[in-house]
Amino acid sequence: MPRFDLFHNPNPRASHTLLLDVQSDLVTTATRWCIPLRLAEPGQAVMRRAQTTLRVGGTPCVLDTPNMLAVPTRLLREPAGHLSASEQATVEACIEFMLRGY
């Protein structure tokens, strides 16, 4: 399962519709570190440097880095895309901010 793949959230009641796998492919566990994404809404507050807006299939979504979670690998079944190199760098900067504050 490649890092930076997007998956549909299998929970239809969840407010986060997508999950972004950010775990290294060198680490094999029963779970994967994922950052949830929710649909962006006009005027919605975004935490500077920790969250960002990404376009997924033309739809703006908020990368909700502060709510990163471990997701059982077996639930990541419905691929929804893969991030570009520039989007990957943006995500890594958000993770770095959450871990180190810069």
pLDDT beyond 80 at 50 = yes
Residues 6+ apart with CB under 8 A from 100: none
pLDDT beyond 90 at 8 = yes
pLDDT beyond 70 at 1 = no
State the burial class of residue 55 (Cβ atoms within 10 Å of its Cβ: 0-12, 13-18, 19+). exposed
Single pTM value for the model: 0.93
Mean pLDDT, residues 65-78: 95
The full set of domain ranges for the chain reads 5-100
Separation between Cα atoms, residue 93 and residue 85, nearest integer Å: 13
Average pLDDT, the chain: 94
Asked if residues 22 and 33 have their Cβ atoms less than 8 Å apart, the reply is yes
What's the topology of domain 5-100? SH3 type barrels. (2.30.30)
